[in-house]
Chain A
Amino acid sequence: MSQINRLNTGARTDSTSRINFTYNGKQMQGVAGDTLASALLANGVNVVGRSFKYSRPRGIVGHGAEEPNAIMQIGSGAATVPNLRATQVELYEGLESASVNGWPNVNFDLMSITGWFGRMMPPGFYYKTFMYPAKLWMTYEHFIRKAAGLGSAPVQDDPDSYDKLNQHCDVLVVGAGPAGLVAAREAARAGARVIIADEQSEFGGSLLASINSIDGQAATSWVDELVAELESFSNVQTLPRSTAFGYYDHNFLGILQRRTDHLGISADSGSRQRLHRVRAKRVILATGAFERPLVFAQNDIPGVMQASSVSTYINRYGVAPGNRMILFTTNDNAYQTAIDWHRAGRAVVAVVDSRSAPSGEIVGSGTGNGYSSNSRLRSD
């Protein structure tokens, strides 16, 4: 397959590079800086899973920890890992990935025939309905097992090693978006011992997908400068790929650092993951926000994606996930996605705004950006 949706304008990807990986046994290519999700979208993969009961096809909706559908089995053999979100898996050479549900495969799913019997399978339907007559249970069970559960656990011993570290600091910053980065910088300049942790591969948070400028400077280069300054301090410890997972009494936090997962599972030396047990004098939570999905009929079908995620794939990864877009919004922010989509050379078919008279600054900038601001619904 070729990267039909690849743009050469991704701020954090190198579109001249090539990284080979497989998805459900198919050879594909992505680029340096991709996540598995952005690489799949670049290759035009629309269906990445099936819903649990009715096996409805599911596509990628988000771009980070909030992704509900793109659940993957990564690697094979002893070091296979089930149920990772494709949006959080960094692409590396030779990565093997497979969708975890859908049988015989996600594109042709026998279970989806359950969808044809909607009246006979009400929401309360439960697979044990099939238990009788008892002598047929063994037959049913074989197939029901295929329908249930996600992913498969490795059967061999884990070849990797793991370690832990007890740490103390004056200020612990959770999240390295604009707020976290500035907080860490101010604390560091004041001489405090600082730890800043972020779950993503690089610091910057929402700014990595921003085309706006800060102090007259592109947001991404502002991030690069700030991160470089942080790393120059001897009193600052930067922890990318590190998820703070628990906040306990008296400012005690647990942080899981993924040290080698992005290089390919089973790196030769060192621990694969490290648990940081941190006791901090002060804690700053700068964890950002998720977009809340809109509720409408059929909003789970492949091709429906969050506006912030569309912008992130275009601006950060250089991937335009599709050709024609209808934008449905309740607020001004999403208009940026229409602008981004238009700049990516794709067609904005319509902007549907639930408000009667949207009138923000960005709404008004629609002229020349592919959408019109003076009508709630515009069609090409």
Chain B
Amino acid sequence: MLLIHCPHCREDREEEEYSYSGEAHIVRPLEPEALSDQEWGDYLFFRKNPKGIHHEMWYHAVGCRRYFYATRNTLSYEILETYKVGEQPQVSAQGAAQ
């Protein structure tokens, strides 16, 4: 049972209020028809599965019902930060942002 901070509600809430929504920062290609089948397949189906720092999307399902991003360590389950959609992470696999 994780305790997760919602950047919209600005409160720590129980994990059971949220649902997980996969990898974060995936941008839809501006011209899908210009992509090869492989590039389109990568966009649709292929995701990182890192051991360690991972940026991911969460949905505050029974709270504000808004999406946000979280930086989580997939080994320790430690949640290093949460931030709103449109913002950039302060922590990445390469270390803290400058």
Contact = CB atoms under 8 A, between A and B. Distances in A.
Interface of A: 248-252, 279
13 contacts: A248-B1, A249-B1, A249-B2, A249-B3, A249-B77, A250-B1, A250-B2, A250-B3, A251-B3, A252-B1, A252-B3, A279-B3, A279-B14
Interface residues of B, number: 5
Given A252-B1, A279-B3, 11 more contacts: A248-B1, A249-B1, A249-B2, A249-B3, A249-B77, A250-B1, A250-B2, A250-B3, A251-B3, A252-B3, A279-B14
Interface in B1-56: 1-3, 14
A279 B77 CA distance: 17
A270 B54 CA distance: 47
Contacts of B2: 249-250
A121 B71 CA distance: 60
Contacts of B14: 279
Please classify the interface of chain B as helix (H, G, I), strand (E, B), loop, or mixed, using the class held by over half of its residues.
loop
Contacts of A249: 1-3, 77
Interface string B57-97: 00000000000000000000100000000000000000000
Nearest to A277: B1
A252 B2 CA distance: 8
Nearest to B4: A250
A252 B13 CA distance: 12
A248 B1 CA distance: 7
A283 to B, nearest CB: 13
Nearest to B3: A250
Contacts of A251: 3
Contacts of B77: 249
Which of B1, B2, B3, B14 is the most central at the interface, judged by chain A CB atoms within 10 Å of its CB?
B1
Please name the 9 residue pairs, one residue from A and one from B, whose CB atoms are nearest each other, closest first.
A250-B3, A252-B1, A249-B2, A248-B1, A250-B2, A249-B77, A249-B1, A279-B3, A250-B1
